[in-house]
Structure 1
Amino acid sequence: MRRRAPLASLAPPDWLVRSLRPQPAPVPWAAVARAAVAIALPLAIGTAVGHPAYGALASMGALSGVIGDTADAYRMRILNIAVPQLFGALGVTLGSLAHGHGWAAVAAVTVIALVSGMMSTIGAVASVSGLLLLLNAVIGAGLPLPGAWWLAPALMTGGGLLVLVLALLAWPLRSGVPERAAVAAAYRKVAALLEAAGTEHTGEDAYDEARAAVTAQLNQAYDLVLARRARDHGRSPDLVRLIAVLNAITPVVEAAPVAHQYGEELPPELPEAARGLAAAIARGPDDEPVALGLPAELPEAYGAAARAVHQALRHAADTLADPDPLTAVHADDRLGRPAALRVRARRATRNVMLSGASWRYGLRLALCIGIAQSLVSLIDVPRSYWVALTVTFVLKPDFGSVFSRAVMRALGTAAGLVVAAAVLSAVDRGWWDVPVVLVLATLIPALTPRGYGYQTAAITPVILLLSDVLNHQGFGLVLPRLLDSLIGCAIALVAGYLLWPESWHTRIGDRLADAVADTAEYVECAFGQDGSGGDPAARARMRRRLYRDLSDIRTEFQRALTEPPPMGARAAAWWPLVVAVERIADATTAARVRIRHGASAPEGAEAGEVVRQLRELAAALREVEVLVPVPVEFTGPKDSVLEPLRQEVAAARAIASPRP
């Protein structure tokens, strides 16, 4: 045993293993084709007309467009690609004007970093816009760009817009397809949830994973569908039908916890019917009736959960087949809009200017960029813009852990440099650059979903080859870029991570306390003062918002696990409580379904007792880091419909109590 200890000590830490593990994701073949054409075509045209440097600048703009091409819906692609390109053009203009002005350039890029950091906290589009604003400013300030001051911004913007044009080519033929595909995928995920809930031997982990997958897919589907509705003028029958069908899935999802908690067997025809609906939704509007293969009534042997799912699926089929979906009054408003769609430019700007979190992140990014720019001004670092580029990518706020990103950036850059070194040493400059860039560009969208390190490894050789077209350093680019990346990672780790105490503390505790408080409101809304419950639409909106928040907490938890000790260990301590809160929400929903199908409503005092215990738990979680002492007492009858809910609350409070 003693001889194995040294070998065991050589095992990589868990946080590194999690960061290096590739995420499962299908290859986005359409995005792969767009990336190859959009990045290689400008370089080919520039080489053909005798100005390869101009082509390289346009290809750099196309590269930023490929990175930002993450939306499924065509309307969202216009925002995700076009708006950031405008900020990117502004950034490269300001950077090129500051180029060669010494400390004035350092100050200018630092101020741009402050603005970029504060912009990045507004939302997804603003985040990418802030990223390109700073990245292109750094490139403009660090590289002598060819041509007049306006040429580089025009070329880079043109390259980015080429990606947008290629992405929109199929819009006339595929309008509405991403939205239909997202809703159909939600029904397929629900079918898997029904199988997990209705199988006696299904473990808790399998059910929890299926439920989390349903929540994530519903979030995506609502975001896509409501985003399209927000930009459509008038009332589209197909869109209204799609929203109504998406709303109709709610009773199915609500019934799954009943089957799981009470071990009710679900007929296998129910998941198959959900998959049949998914196939019909994916096909789009047609004249063929939807064949569910379900009887008009279920046998008496089946319980409340099966009857609820059966009724909901038949309602969904009727909604999908309705020839006049416009008769559904306000069907698209029942669950509300996602939070990201409520943001307006004026309100978002005001909130950012008054937000302490926005100022802290902006100052953190500005400090790191200022240090990077000052360092390369004092020390002779060839092509020093790469140091600030590294800092910008590592400190991107919505990409995950700063620490793990710095490590992944270093490892990914090293891997990418190996590829770039082989290409730069073996391939002659000129026309051979075009097929090489075309092949390497396909790896960017293919590897990006796998993880940040894989994305970095794919982007690095493309950027180096395009940079070589501009500065003709050849193989001499390789080692300086690795050194620059290591310097940038070190600056981000020290000035952007270690010097900020908030970096060492997970935010899961505070967010989980908010979720517990929201769960208390959900219980109060579900049962009211007399146990009967309030407005069903209000309950549905609250439930969707609660599950969306819990899904975000799961994402935050996964990010926190990639942090080194002690933060990763602290995050892991929260995981049982995250699951417990999800089960409390499920138990609340299950109780409402049972009441709807004949169970006696609880007394108002019973629900009030649960609400009080949850609010005490939320308050205690905000006061300490983890593991708070919270004894629990319930006085309601044991045969109450709320008994499973009370058990889940007691379990959550026991999890939060100190260990002996």
Structure 2
Amino acid sequence: MSWSAALRATVRAGLHLDRTLSSPKRALRGAVAVALVVFPTLALAGPAPATSAAMGAFIAGTATFQRSFRPRVSLAVAAGIGLGVSTFLGYLAVGVPGAFPVLLAVWAFGAGMAWAIGPSSGVVAATTVAVMLVVVQLPVSVPTALGHGLLCALGGGVQALVVTLWPLDSWRAQRDALADTYASLADYARRLRQDPTAHVDPEPFILARQAATLTPWQARHRPPELAGLRGIAERIRPALAALADPKVGAPAEGPQRDRAREILGACAEALDAVARAVRHAEPLRSTRSAPLLTLLAADDVEEARLTGPARRAARRLLTLLRRAADTFDRQDQETVSSPALGPGLRRPPLFRVLPAAWQAVRRQLRPHSAVCQHAVRLAGVVTVAYLTAKLLGVHHGYWAPMTAAMVMRPDFAQTYSRGVARLAGTVVGVALSTAVVQLLHPGEWLSAALAVVFIGGAYLTLRTGYALMTACVSSYVVFLLGLQPSDPMRTATDRVGLTLVGGAVALLAYALFPTWQTARLAERLAEWLAAAGRYAGAVLGVFGEPERRGRGDVRKALLDSREARSELLQAIERADAEPVRHDAHSPELSRKQIDRARAAVGLLGRSVVLMEAHLPEKTGEPVPGAAEFAEEVRYATAIAAGALLVGQPPDFEGLRETYRRWDERLAELPGDDAVRVARAGGRLVMQALGELEKAVRPRRPVPSGA
């Protein structure tokens, strides 16, 4: 994609407004919480403390809008504490000559590294940098600095209190994540009717697992239907694939294939009904497919009777769908959370997450890490913008580094879309608020009221329309700082000019010091290949040692593979928006090779899903040689992943020879179901790895000895 096309795409993304993503009630709740902080503090302590408290309430409210499955109360409290600490340290440092730029650089670097924990942490951490720049204006004593820090934390506490007393859609995020999973399964079942080898989108399953990870409080208070349904969905997915696939399920043609299509259609209707019931918190309504599904799974019609693995898959689907329906009628939490339906996942309290968060940050403290490069870039740009404004003697110089801090993101698309939108939104917001000040000359109380109104508008557009949200935030800051006397016209001119300078510096810095996702596609592909190989090894290992079933090895390997695939897809989506040629940054693999290799690894994952649907029982007979072949698959895929990282073609010749010997050994055994499934699955695994070899075959001869 060219620079002009990439910029046009990012500009449209930054200026786009989707009304369906706004939440008027939640915006009103956040604005009310800000008002409860601003007006009492203004009456009791004056404009400066009111500004600190209002900033704390604003950012804490922003944290409650982030995409997170944690309780909103804990998010608001954590954001308030972080703001209090940053404000306190900033007020202390600004009184020591030369100390504040150093603190600003260190804090900005830490805010950039917070992206290693997650996007929500990165966004909230970046806002603490902006708040530090806004509220820290004059040197103060230590007690006064502590007071301002406590007021910021108080703002977060008030937001948490309002969220507690005024709950809105407390379980909406969890319901949507689980409903999306069942809706994606319904779509998957319909696609399987036409394409028996279709792939399922793993993203809804990843989000559903994150949503099902609960704090102790959430585990005690969640609605009964949210417990267990995720585990059922995880089991439905391989059962659908096993029924549709012609190699291990219904034959490709004939009456059994027609019967399989009917069952898949009936399953799709049933899954849609479950999705609607979960999303809208309503009873499960019976569908037209319910009696049909029971009849089809029973196979009373002799000439179309399903046989073998296909029959078992159909009966398993019926059992799982009945179990999902029964979940809506149960109120006993322990019964619903039984191991048969999937054990509950625990999310530790925030303070217990700190060690894991620190480990995530440490893993990214590498020169070639995209997060580390973003942190260095953010620290450098914010500090340079601050020092430049200081040297120029501009009174409102903090607007330049504040703009840079709010604009910069780890990837190109977000940085440029937010940069353009912020520049446009800030100019409009500052011009509008300055015109209001010039015409109305509002006093302290009216300025505070206008600030609350505009912060409500910012909350309303927080999830969409970044330009409009920025305009509201800019007006909010103008009215909030307008509590103190100043020249409106000069202030507006300074703010607009410094915003343009800060935004331009941020965009230029990314262009000169980029972190292109395009250059990391081969690395993400290698990670997915290694994870898919571990998943294949875990499933094949159960065929060789059935007593290992239920230990969690297969489950963990599946989740790792799913996460690795999701990271690759996200990297590809971001790379598509970048104005660089793929071949120029990854000469070993072309974009076409990446796409073909992705299809091959996807085939590997799907082959293993089919085998997982027919895992033997713990008491079943082991498949001879399956455990040894599983180890070979794990080893060969790990070596192949390493080869991709260094630009070498993978070589599966050793694994191919091991498979030949294993397949010949199985051919001499009686053909029970476990052996047939293992042989068919092994054949598909080797086919997928063969396709991978072809996909990444070098475009130029590899030097001997390389």
TM category (shorter chain) comes to 0.7 to 0.9
Q: Is the 8 A contact 1:187 1:277 kept in 2?
A: yes
Q: Percent identity?
A: 19
Cα distance in structure 1, aligned partners of 2:538 and 2:359: 32
Match of 2:394 among 381, 384, 390: 381
Match of 2:208 among 211, 221, 224: 221
Cα distance in structure 1, aligned partners of 2:180 and 2:331: 23
CA shift for structure 1 position 250: 1.1
Deviations along 1:386-444, one digit per CA (max 9) or x if unpaired, are 2221232234xxx5415751463244222331243134224524266466545543443
After superposition, where does 1:118-129 map in structure 2 within 5 Å?
118-123=113-118, 127=122
Cα distance in structure 1, aligned partners of 2:530 and 2:203: 22
Q: Is the 8 A contact 1:561 1:568 kept in 2?
A: no
Q: Is the 8 A contact 1:401 1:562 kept in 2?
A: no
What is the aligned partner in structure 1 of residue 257 from structure 2?
Answer: none
- The answer to whether 1:59 aligns with 2:72 is no
Cα distance in structure 1, aligned partners of 2:314 and 2:600: 25
What is the aligned partner in structure 2 of residue 188 from structure 1?
Answer: 183
Cα distance in structure 1, aligned partners of 2:517 and 2:66: 32
Q: Is the 8 A contact 1:560 1:568 kept in 2?
A: no
CA shift for structure 1 position 57: 3.9
Deviations along 1:617-644, one digit per CA (max 9) or x if unpaired, are 31222113xxx54466656579942244
CA shift for structure 1 position 67: 2.1
Match of 1:20 among 6, 12, 18: 12
CA shift for structure 1 position 88: 0.7
Cα distance in structure 2, aligned partners of 1:448 and 1:393: 13
Distance 1:472 1:218, change over 3 A: farther
Question: TM (normalized to structure 2)?
Answer: 0.75
Match of 2:158 among 143, 157, 162: 162
- The answer to whether 1:428 aligns with 2:440 is yes
CA shift for structure 1 position 374: 2.4
- The answer to whether 1:548 aligns with 2:588 is no
Distance 1:420 1:576, change over 3 A: farther
Deviations along 1:119-173, one digit per CA (max 9) or x if unpaired, are 55345675456434433332244468999444533443333333323322244x9
Question: TM (normalized to structure 1)?
Answer: 0.80
CA shift for structure 1 position 483: 3.0
CA shift for structure 1 position 339: 11
What is the aligned partner in structure 2 of residue 472 from structure 1?
Answer: 486
Q: Is the 8 A contact 2:84 2:150 kept in 1?
A: yes
Distance 1:253 1:343, change over 3 A: farther
Unpaired stretches in structure 2, ≥5 consecutive residues: 247-251, 253-259, 668-675, 701-706
Letter in 2 for 1:557: I
Letter in 2 for 1:77: R
Deviations along 1:455-503, one digit per CA (max 9) or x if unpaired, are 5455333333333344534243444334323433444456566347x65
Letter in 1 for 2:154: G
- The answer to whether 1:481 aligns with 2:495 is yes
CA shift for structure 1 position 247: 0.9
What is the aligned partner in structure 2 of residue 539 from structure 1?
Answer: 554
Q: Is the 8 A contact 1:420 1:461 kept in 2?
A: yes
Letter in 1 for 2:165: L
Cα distance in structure 1, aligned partners of 2:107 and 2:156: 21
CA shift for structure 1 position 43: 5.1
Deviations along 1:205-224, one digit per CA (max 9) or x if unpaired, are xx65xx33xx3333333223
Cα distance in structure 2, aligned partners of 1:267 and 1:122: 40
CA shift for structure 1 position 64: 1.0
What is the aligned partner in structure 2 of residue 313 from structure 1?
Answer: 321
CA shift for structure 1 position 251: 1.3
Unpaired stretches in structure 1, ≥5 consecutive residues: 1-7
What is the aligned partner in structure 2 of residue 138 from structure 1?
Answer: 133
Letter in 1 for 2:190: E
Local SS of the residue matching 1:383: coil
Q: Is the 8 A contact 2:69 2:210 kept in 1?
A: no
CA shift for structure 1 position 87: 1.7
Cα distance in structure 2, aligned partners of 1:654 and 1:579: 12
Letter in 1 for 2:680: V
CA shift for structure 1 position 590: 1.8
- The answer to whether 1:89 aligns with 2:81 is no
What is the aligned partner in structure 1 of residue 427 from structure 2?
Answer: 417
**Corresponding pairs, count:** 631
Cα distance in structure 2, aligned partners of 1:106 and 1:257: 58
Local SS of the residue matching 1:481: helix
- The answer to whether 1:391 aligns with 2:404 is yes
Q: Is the 8 A contact 1:601 1:641 kept in 2?
A: no
- The answer to whether 1:356 aligns with 2:356 is no
Deviates more, 1:261-270 or 1:120-129: 120-129
Local SS of the residue matching 1:554: helix
Letter in 2 for 1:26: L
What is the aligned partner in structure 2 of residue 620 from structure 1?
Answer: 643
Distance 1:255 1:472, change over 3 A: farther
Deviations along 1:90-145, one digit per CA (max 9) or x if unpaired, are 21222223336442332332333344444553456754564344333322444689
Letter in 1 for 2:185: V
Match of 1:508 among 521, 535, 539: 521
Cα distance in structure 2, aligned partners of 1:59 and 1:579: 51
CA shift for structure 1 position 51: 4.7
What is the aligned partner in structure 1 of residue 704 from structure 2?
Answer: none
Distance 1:331 1:152, change over 3 A: farther
Cα distance in structure 2, aligned partners of 1:654 and 1:606: 22
Deviations along 1:29-74, one digit per CA (max 9) or x if unpaired, are 3322224434456556677789555544433223212321135788
Distance 1:161 1:632, change over 3 A: same
CA shift for structure 1 position 252: 1.0
After superposition, where does 1:29-44 map in structure 2 within 5 Å?
29-39=24-34, 42=37
What is the aligned partner in structure 1 of residue 149 from structure 2?
Answer: 153
* Aligned CA-pair RMSD: 4.4
What is the aligned partner in structure 2 of residue 269 from structure 1?
Answer: 266
Deviations along 1:186-237, one digit per CA (max 9) or x if unpaired, are 3233223322333x179x9xx65xx33xx333333322332234x46xx849
Distance 1:449 1:596, change over 3 A: farther
CA shift for structure 1 position 575: 4.6
What is the aligned partner in structure 1 of residue 687 from structure 2?
Answer: 647
Q: Is the 8 A contact 2:108 2:382 kept in 1?
A: yes
Q: Is the 8 A contact 1:237 1:325 kept in 2?
A: no
Deviates more, 1:135-144 or 1:268-277: 135-144
CA shift for structure 1 position 521: 0.8
Cα distance in structure 2, aligned partners of 1:43 and 1:138: 19
Q: Is the 8 A contact 1:516 1:581 kept in 2?
A: yes
What is the aligned partner in structure 2 of residue 252 from structure 1?
Answer: 236
Cα distance in structure 2, aligned partners of 1:588 and 1:607: 11
Letter in 1 for 2:241: P
What is the aligned partner in structure 2 of residue 523 from structure 1?
Answer: 536
Cα distance in structure 2, aligned partners of 1:566 and 1:227: 43
Deviates more, 1:61-70 or 1:100-109: 100-109
CA shift for structure 1 position 290: 7.6
Match of 1:498 among 512, 516, 529: 512
Q: Is the 8 A contact 1:56 1:466 kept in 2?
A: yes
Cα distance in structure 1, aligned partners of 2:601 and 2:423: 40
Letter in 2 for 1:345: L
